[in-house]
Structure 1
Amino acid sequence: MSSATTLKLLNFLLFQAGWLACVLLTNSWALLIATGVLAFHLTVVSARPAAEARFILLGIVLGSLVDGLWFRSGVMQDGTGSAWTPLWLMAIWALFMTTLAHSLAWMHQRIWLPFVLAPVAGPFAYLAASKLDAVTLPEGTLSLAALAVGWLVIFPLLMAIQKRYFPETLT
């Protein structure tokens, strides 16, 4: 296995571990674990940590705005009744953003791919989180449809922003 492949696999595993910690804990421990995973990623996996950190910050803001819309509109809820994106979910956005430069970088090769995969994969992650009691999707299928529309917009947008403004982060 090449070094690049090893780093992409490590990125994938770090994201999965961080996602699971955030979804299971949904508290300050989740933030601490996610911060550790992110720091490890930026020091060990990332070839351009400063640029990738800026891209991650932008993704946290944009992803949190989209999720905030779902919390405000009642499409999604968490156990605290938060009217905005909880910190543990912002941490997941940070972790997810690392995958765009590494384990999901292959999606940049086909412009149509994010439009096909994102509306399925994005809502599936929230559905999985709901099965682990991190969030609820009170409107069921309607909630999943709204999440699919959000992911149909946000994922290709993030990829376009990365390709245009942060191309050095792509490995």
Structure 2
Amino acid sequence: MLPIQQTIKNNDWLKTVINVVLFQLCWLACVVGGNQWALAALLLLVVIHASWIVGQDQLLSEVRLVLPLISLGILFDTILMQIEWLIFPHDSGVTIPFWLMALWLAFASTVRHSMSGILKKPWVAVLFGALGAPWSYYLGDQLGAVTVTTNALIAISLFWGLLLLAVCVQLQKTEAADGSF
């Protein structure tokens, strides 16, 4: 293991900062760069996340949490796209563009790490999801990556509030079962 990896593995504060920075860089790369930058951003995020932030003993547990979140997010956003509440000017597929799928993975990578403090208080998590997520989509709209209708913003607010509440409940069950989180 490289010295920097050892330093990061033993420093929770540094892992949190790296997790936040990785998410923000991935968000920016995906929203501004679209599919062209999404793959590179995603690969960087996955490599650093798996090698520096998540311990080998936590990898399976991390995957079990991340996969359902990604699946739910892609399904939700695809439904919004199909009913034309989210419109992607540069993409016209059956599902949401790859860059938004990559963002769902980037978000899921924060749940046990940089978002863990927020997720320990369900009411804070609900407010964070209900207020923060629509802003993220709105910013994507302002940057030209997506057109977001008012109905979409309302649905996103409700979905994200409920999603983060469900994540809180799941993480509390996991913590009770194995002491993680």
Q: TM-score range by the shorter chain?
A: 0.7 to 0.9
Q: What TM-score results when the alignment is normalised by the length of structure 2?
A: 0.83
User: Number of aligned pairs?
Assistant: 168
Q: Does residue 90 of structure 2 align to residue 64 of structure 1?
A: no
**Percent identity between the two aligned chains:** 26
Using the alignment, how far apart are the partners of 1:75 and 1:169 within structure 2? 41
TM-score when scaled to structure 1?
Answer: 0.87
Aligned counterpart for 1:98 among listed residues 109, 123, 126? 109
Amino acid at match of 1:121: G
Q: How many Å apart are 1:36 and its aligned residue? A: 2.0
User: Is 1:75 equivalent to 2:123 in the alignment?
Assistant: no
1:86 pairs with 97, 101, 113, which one? 97
8 Å CA contact retained: 1:59, 1:97:
yes
Confirm or deny: 8 A CA contact 1:64 1:90 kept in the other structure.
yes
Question: What is the root-mean-square deviation of aligned Cα atoms in Å?
Answer: 2.1
Give the conservation status (yes or no) of the 8 Å contact 2:174–2:180.
Answer: no
SS of 2:109's equivalent in the other structure is: helix
Amino acid at match of 2:35: N
Aligned to 1:164: 173
| Residues 121, 164 of structure 1: alpha-carbon distance in 2 compared, 3 angstrom cutoff | same
Three-state SS of the structure 2 residue aligned to 1:112 is: helix
Q: Which moved more, 1:104-113 or 1:28-37?
A: 28-37
Q: Which has the larger radius of gyration?
A: 2
Partner of residue 53, structure 1: 63
- The CA deviation at 1:111 is 2.0
Quick one: higher RCO (CA 8 Å, sep 6+), 1 or 2?
Answer: 1
The gaps in structure 1 that reach 5 residues or longer are none
List gaps (5 residues or longer) in structure 2: 1-9
2:160 counterpart of 1:151: yes
Match of 1:5 in 2: 13
